[in-house]
C-alpha cells in the first residue's frame, strides 16, 4: 500500500487540504505534516505535477489498513516492538496492520488506543503565535512571575526521593502526607478520599480555598496524579516494589500543583479553588474516576474548568518549550482558547492543541460533560523513560515546567476572578 508524507507551511494549510481532496487523497494532519493515505481514486501523478508535488514523499507499506495510535510515552511501541511505525509524532503514531492483527491488539485501557484511520481528520494543530497577543494584566503577571524554579525543583526532588509512589505502597502514603502537610501549611482545607484498587486502598488528596464572591460560585480546579509506576511494557504486570522515581510522570505535575497552591494561597479570589492530587491513575484513572463518580450533579455543574497536569517537564521536541493542550470537543473548547491566550500573553510556549482526549485524569471529567484539559509536554517523539526507573531528574528541563505553570496559573487566576475573562 502506498502512502505519503507532506509538510506544508502553516499559512498554506487550507490550500493544501483543498488540493489533496481534489486529488482523492485521504489525510490525517499532525500540525504542519499531512499523512496522506491512498484511496482507490488517488491520483499520485496528478498530485506530483500540482503545486504541492515537489514536497510530497511517497512510501510503501506492507500492511493493508492504517491505524492511528494514541499512546502514553512509547507504550504501544514497547508492547508491540515488531510492528513498524509509519509516522511518529510521539503521543500520536500511524501504523499499518491487517484486521486480525488489529483485533488481537485490543486497546490497552490505561496506556494506548488504536483506531482505524478513515476519513480526513486533524490529529493536532500547531498554533502560530499571534502578532499582537493579549496584553498582560499586571496582577496576573505578578502571580506568574512568582512561580519559582527553585521551589519547584526542590519539591520535585522531595517527591522523587521516594523509591516509588506506586499507589499501593507505604511510600505513596508518605508522599501523600508530605503533600497534605504542604497544602495545609498554605492554608488550604485538605481532605483525604479513599479509593479502591482491586480490593486494596489508595487515596486522593483534595485541597480547597473558598472564594469571596457571592453565591452561587463556580469552582476552578487543578489536578495531577501523584502516583508513579514501573511498568515499561503495559502488557506485563507491574511490580509495586520496583523503583519508580516518576520524575516527569508525574512528579512534575504534582510539584507543579504544589507550586500553583503556593502562588495562589494569599490571593483574594472571587470563585472557589480546588486542587486535587489523584492516586491510582496508573492502574486506569481510578482516583479521578472515583472522584467524578461520587460528585453530585450540582457540584459537577459548578466546575468551570479542570486543568490537569501530567508530564510537564521533559523537552522532547525540536521547537523549544512546547505544550500540548488536549481536551474534548466541544466541552473543552473555551478552556483551550483561554489557556492558549494565557500561553501567548505570559509565556514563550509553542502551543499544540488536540481534541482527542486520551488516558489521563481529564478524561473522566470530559466523559461527564465537565470542561477539562490535559496540559502535557509537547513531543515529536515519545518519552522513553516514563514507567521505568530511568524517569529521573536528569531528564527534567529547567524552563518547560515553569512556562507551563505560568500558563496554567494565569488561566486559573482569571477563572477565579482575578482578571477579566481571557476569552469571551
Ligand atoms: Zn501520568
Calculate how far, in angstroms, residue 364's C-alpha sits from the geometric centre of ligand 1: 14
My answer on whether 24 and 117 are in the same domain is: yes
- The model's pLDDT over 355-413, given as tens digits with 9 standing for 90+, comes to 999 889 999 999 999 999 999 999 877 788 999 999 999 999 999 999 999 999 999 99
Residue position matching grid coordinates 498554506: 12
* Positions of the chain with pLDDT under 50: none
User: Last residue of some domain: 99, 125, 151?
Assistant: 125
The verdict on residue 82 lying in a domain is: yes
What pLDDT does residue 98 have?
84
Calculate how far, in angstroms, residue 14's C-alpha sits from the geometric centre of ligand 1: 35
My answer on whether 98 and 227 are in the same domain is: no
Calculate how far, in angstroms, residue 255's C-alpha sits from the geometric centre of ligand 1: 13
What pLDDT does residue 200 have?
92
The verdict on residue 7 lying in a domain is: yes
My answer on whether 244 and 380 are in the same domain is: yes
My answer on whether 171 and 90 are in the same domain is: no
What pLDDT does residue 101 have?
85
| Alpha-carbon span 45 to 408, nearest angstrom | 47
My answer on whether 108 and 227 are in the same domain is: no
Q: Do 57 and 5 touch, CB atoms closer than 8 A? A: yes
- The model's pLDDT over 31-76, given as tens digits with 9 standing for 90+, comes to 989 998 876 667 777 777 776 666 777 788 777 788 999 998 898 9
My answer on whether 116 and 174 are in the same domain is: no
Calculate how far, in angstroms, residue 225's C-alpha sits from the geometric centre of ligand 1: 7
The verdict on residue 303 lying in a domain is: yes
Calculate how far, in angstroms, residue 250's C-alpha sits from the geometric centre of ligand 1: 5
My answer on whether 278 and 319 are in the same domain is: yes
Calculate how far, in angstroms, residue 120's C-alpha sits from the geometric centre of ligand 1: 29
Q: How remote is the C-alpha of 198 from its chain's centroid?
A: 26
Q: How remote is the C-alpha of 292 from its chain's centroid?
A: 18
Domain of residue 107: give its range.
2-125
Number of domains in the chain: 2
My answer on whether 207 and 150 are in the same domain is: yes
My answer on whether 204 and 339 are in the same domain is: yes
Calculate how far, in angstroms, residue 111's C-alpha sits from the geometric centre of ligand 1: 10
Calculate how far, in angstroms, residue 1's C-alpha sits from the geometric centre of ligand 1: 36
My answer on whether 120 and 150 are in the same domain is: no
The verdict on residue 173 lying in a domain is: yes
SS (H, E, C) the chain: CEEEEEECCHHHHHHHHHHHHHCCEEEEEECCEEEEEECCCCCHHHHHCCCCHHHEEEEECCCCEEEEEEECCCHHHHHCCCCCEEEEECCEEEEEECHHHHHHCCCECCCEEEEECCCCEEEEEECCCCCCCCCCCHHHHHHHHCCCHHHHHHHHHHHHCCCECCCCCHHHHHHHHHHHHHHHHCCCEEEEEEEEECCEEEEEEEEEECCCCCCCCCEEEEEEECCCCCCCCCCCCCCCCCCECCHHHHHHHHHHHHHHHHHHCCCCCCCEEEEEEECCHHHCCHHHHHHHHCCCHHHHHHEEEEEEECCCCCCECCCCCEEEEEECCCCCHHHHHHHHHHHHHHCCCEEEEECCCCCCCHHHHHHCCCCEEEEEECECCCCCCCCCCCCCHHHCCCHHHHHHHHHHHHHHHHHCCCCCCCCC
The verdict on residue 209 lying in a domain is: yes
What pLDDT does residue 21 have?
84
The verdict on residue 131 lying in a domain is: no
CATH code of residue 202: 3.40.630.10
Distances (CA, A) of 385 to 86, 89, 165, 168, 391: 22, 16, 16, 22, 5
What pLDDT does residue 392 have?
97
The verdict on residue 133 lying in a domain is: no
What pLDDT does residue 337 have?
97
The verdict on residue 423 lying in a domain is: no
My answer on whether 90 and 203 are in the same domain is: no
What pLDDT does residue 102 have?
85
My answer on whether 255 and 390 are in the same domain is: yes
How many alpha carbons lie under 13 Å from residue 178 in its C-beta half-sphere?
21
Amino acid at each position: 500500500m502506498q502512502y505519503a508524507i507532506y509538510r506544508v507551511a502553516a499559512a498554506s494549510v487550507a490550500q493544501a487540504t483543498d488540493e489533496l481532496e481534489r486529488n482523492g487523497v485521504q489525510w490525517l494532519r499532525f500540525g504542519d505534516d499531512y499523512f496522506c493515505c491512498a484511496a482507490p481514486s488517488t491520483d499520485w501523478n496528478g498530485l506530483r505535477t500540482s503545486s504541492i508535488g515537489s514536497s510530497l514523499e511517497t512510501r510503501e507499506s506492507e500492511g493493508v489498513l492504517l491505524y492511528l495510535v494514541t499512546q502514553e510515552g512509547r507504550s504501544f511501541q514497547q508492547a508491540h516492538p515488531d510492528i513498524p511505525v509509519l509516522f511518529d509524532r510521539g503521543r500520536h503514531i500511524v501504523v499499518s496492520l491487517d484486521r486480525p492483527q488489529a483485533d488481537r491488539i485490543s486497546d490497552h485501557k490505561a496506556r494506548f488506543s488504536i483506531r482505524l484511520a478513515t476519513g480526513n481528520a486533524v490529529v493536532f494543530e500547531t498554533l502560530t503565535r499571534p502578532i499582537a497577543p493579549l496584553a498582560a494584566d499586571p496582577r496576573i503577571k505578578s502571580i506568574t512571575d512568582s512561580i519559582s524554579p527553585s521551589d519547584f525543583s526542590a519539591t520535585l526532588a522531595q517527591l522523587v526521593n521516594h523509591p516509588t509512589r506506586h499507589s499501593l505502597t507505604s511510600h505513596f502514603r508518605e508522599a501523600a502526607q508530605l503533600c497534605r502537610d504542604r497544602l495545609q501549611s498554605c492554608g488550604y482545607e485538605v481532605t483525604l478520599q479513599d479509593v479502591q484498587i482491586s480490593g486494596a486502598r489508595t487515596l486522593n488528596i483534595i485541597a480547597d480555598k473558598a472564594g469571596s464572591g457571592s453565591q452561587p460560585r463556580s469552582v476552578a480546579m487543578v489536578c495531577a496524579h501523584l502516583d508513579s509506576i514501573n511498568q515499561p511494557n503495559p502488557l506485563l504486570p507491574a511490580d509495586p516494589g520496583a523503583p519508580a522515581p516518576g520524575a516527569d510522570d508525574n512528579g512534575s505535575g504534582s510539584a507543579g500543583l504544589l507550586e500553583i497552591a503556593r502562588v495562589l494561597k494569599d490571593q483574594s479570589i472571587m470563585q472557589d479553588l480546588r486542587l486535587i492530587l489523584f492516586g491510582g491513575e496508573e492502574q486506569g484513572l481510578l482516583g479521578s474516576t472515583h472522584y467524578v463518580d461520587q460528585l453530585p450533579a450540582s457540584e459537577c455543574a459548578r466546575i468551570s474548568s479542570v486543568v490537569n497536569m501530567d508530564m510537564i517537564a521533559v523537552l522532547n521536541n525540536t521547537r523549544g518549550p512546547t505544550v500540548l493542550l488536549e481536551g474534548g470537543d466541544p466541552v473543552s473548547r473555551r478552556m483551550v482558547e483561554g489557556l492558549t491566550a494565557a500561553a501567548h500573553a505570559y509565556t514563550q510556549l509553542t502551543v499544540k492543541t488536540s481534541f482527542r482526549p486520551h488516558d489521563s485524569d481529564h478524561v473522566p471529567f470530559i466523559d461527564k460533560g465537565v470542561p477539562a484539559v490535559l496540559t502535557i509536554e509537547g513531543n515529536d517523539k515519545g518519552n522513553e523513560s516514563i514507567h521505568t526507573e530511568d524517569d529521573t531528574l536528569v531528564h527534567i528541563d529547567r524552563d518547560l515546567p515553569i512556562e507551563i505553570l505560568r500558563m496554567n496559573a494565569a488561566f486559573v487566576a482569571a477563572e477565579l476572578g482575578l482578571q477579566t475573562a481571557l476569552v469571551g
